[in-house]
């Protein structure tokens, strides 16, 4: 809760900075990689690829920006077998990870074409899985959702390819409660809406 309150305070303190000049909004998307965005059959964590959508809210002269983003990792389905008292149960798991981040960024280097920035903000993770189990006596399925909170920090680069288009790449470490930490690497394109 303290992290969320501190982030809200940080974002509201930036409002006077944005009020000095017109605000711009950019919409973008691309690929995301996570160091345990996949799980193998033996529950081992591995690198996975997902999809990302983000907004960038800034103005031309400020070094500060706000960047909400959403990352989806469609993890591979996996199966395993559990044996109890001479009965084998087949279990199939379909997991997915959803990250929602609201980052405040500060540009260490900013020009008309290049922006090198540091970012920090709250990170929210929704891990969902559908589990199906069957044996000779029973077949059933259910869902499990876990919601975790934390903080993400890192660095990145934005390259403007004209007045409306640009590309970005950044890396961040998402520190999530209950040992759900993850290294996130993202990249993609952005379009200026206004």
116 has pLDDT over 60: yes
Count of domains observed in the chain: 1
In this prediction, residues 101-123 reach a mean pLDDT of 93
Query: Can you give the pLDDT at residue 18?
Result: 45
Structure confidence at residue 109 (pLDDT): 92
Tokens 């090198």 map to which residue? 116
3-class DSSP assignment, residue 111? coil
Mean pLDDT of 102-107: 94
30 closest CA partner among 11, 10, 49 = 49
Q: Is residue 5 scored above 60 in pLDDT?
A: no
Mean pLDDT of the residues in the chain: 85
Query: Is there a contact between 140 and 163 (Cβ–Cβ < 8 Å)?
Result: no
Structural domain span for residue 168 = 2-192
Q: Is the pLDDT of residue 98 over 70?
A: yes
Query: What pLDDT score does 35 carry?
Result: 82
The pLDDT, as a whole number, for residue 12 is 47
**How many helices, marked H, and strands, marked E, lie in the chain?**
2, 9
User: pTM of the prediction?
Assistant: 0.79
Q: What is the CATH number of the domain that holds 84?
A: 2.40.160.20
Which is more confidently placed, 61 or 185?
185
């Amino acid at each position: 809760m303290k992290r969320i309150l501190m982030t809200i305070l940080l974002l509201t303190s930036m409002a006077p900075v944005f009020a000095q000049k017109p605000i711009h909004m950019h919409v973008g998307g691309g690929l995301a990689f996570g160091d345990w965005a996949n799980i193998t059959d033996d529950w081992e964590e591995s690198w996975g690829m997902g999809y990302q959508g983000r907004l960038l809210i800034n103005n031309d002269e400020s070094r500060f920006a706000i960047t909400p983003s959403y990352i989806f990792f469609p993890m591979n389905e996996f199966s395993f077998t559990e044996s109890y008292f001479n009965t084998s149960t087949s279990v199939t798991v379909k997991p997915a990870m959803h990250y929602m981040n609201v980052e405040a960024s500060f540009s260490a280097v900013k020009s008309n074409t290049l922006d090198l920035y540091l970012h920090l903000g709250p990170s929210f993770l929704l891990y969902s899985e559908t589990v199906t189990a069957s044996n000779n006596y029973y077949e059933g399925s259910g869902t499990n959702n876990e919601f975790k909170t934390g903080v993400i920090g890192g660095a990145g680069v934005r390259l403007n390819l004209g007045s409306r288009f640009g590309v970005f790449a950044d890396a961040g470490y998402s520190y999530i409660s209950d040992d759900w930490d993850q290294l996130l690497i993202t990249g993609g394109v952005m379009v200026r809406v206004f």
